[in-house]
Amino acid sequence: MISSQPTVIELKSVEKNYGEGNAATYALQGVDLSIAKGEFVAIMGPSGSGKSTAMNIIGCLDVPSTGEYLFEGIDVGKLSRDQRALLRRHYIGFIFQGFNLLGKTSALENVELPLLYRGVPSHERKAMAMEALKSVGLASVAHHTPGELSGGQQQRVAIARAIVTNPLVLLADEPTGNLDTAKSIEVMELLRSFNREKGITIIMVTHENDMAQFASRIIHFRDGHIDAVDTQRDAQ
């Protein structure tokens, strides 16, 4: 059972406010959330519901105004900006709707980037990046630039880049938003395989209900609150 696994992400009474006085905006209001190691969680909600703010906090790109965010028991709000950057670099992978690949560099070089930031030697870096491309079925296009790849292939390169460091947590922001249904399913099956076979905790924001069904739990945000939670779903 996933619930028996240790907690990796925990939000405790988290609030996030922007501005002051009458101009204040309350993006999150008293959010409590625990995510266990190895879970695959989908986060859903309308625009302005707070889901993107929650993801920014979970991804150590922002900190709560009040409340606590614990990552593996560490209070992220007490870390410096540089310490949060190190946490992101070593423990969190990111996948974006727009792929965010460097257009003039090869697929292999794109996947190497997180390893370059870590200071991994060149020969080791290339071997690890090629292995990651193999894991997403793209070894044959390692030296192609993003412009020579389909949208589905570009997203798979982005997934390889996100998992090349073997992150503890993978954050996926609308990973199928720019793909057709067939390519979306391919990407979701790939994410599910990394979750099940490698034990990577995945937290995914999506507007697409059929894509959310791949997750083991769906969390619905509304007006800065968690509105509902669908637990222990039978994933596709």
Domains of the chain: 43-62+80-230 (3.40.50.300)
Residue 234 in this model has a pLDDT that exceeds 80: no
Greater model confidence, 23 or 126: 126
Written as one string, the DSSP assignment of the chain is -GGGSPEEEEEEEEEEEES-GGG-EEEEEEEEEEEETT-EEEEE--TTSSHHHHHHHHTTSS--SEEEEEETTEEGGGS-HHHHHHHHHHHEEEEETT----TTS-HHHHHHHHHHHHT--HHHHHHHHHHHHHHTT-GGGTT--GGGS-HHHHHHHHHHHHHTT--SEEEEESTTTTS-HHHHHHHHHHHHHHHHHH--EEEEE-S-HHHHTTSSEEEEEETTEEEEEE-S----
Distance CA 32, CA 226 (A): 8
β-bridge pairing 74-75 and 201-205: unpaired
Q: Whose structure tokens read 């996947």?
A: 111
Q: Please report the pLDDT score of residue 236 as a whole number.
A: 55
Q: How confident is the model at residue 1 (pLDDT cuts 50, 70, 90)?
A: very low
Looking at the chain, the whole-number percentage of residues with pLDDT higher than 70 is: 96
Q: Could you report the per-residue pLDDT of 158-215, keeping only the tens digit for each?
A: 999 999 999 999 999 999 988 899 999 999 999 999 999 999 999 999 999 999 999 9
Indicate if the pLDDT at residue 4 is higher than 70.
no
Q: Which of 19, 57, 24 is nearest to 221 (CA)?
A: 57
Phi then psi for 219, rounded to 5 degrees? -110, 125
In Å, the largest CA–CA distance within the chain is 57
Kind of pairing, strands 92-96 and 66-71? unpaired
Contact 74, 154 (CB under 8 A): no
Query: Alpha-carbon distance 115 to 55, whole Å?
Result: 23
* Average pLDDT taken over every residue of the chain: 92
Render pLDDT for 29-74 as a digit per residue (tens, 0 to 9). Answer: 999 999 999 999 999 999 999 999 999 999 999 999 999 999 999 9
Q: How far apart are CA 114 and CA 108, in angstroms?
A: 12
* pLDDT tier at 137, thresholds 50, 70, 90: very high
Residue 68 CA neighbour count, 13 Å, CB half: 11
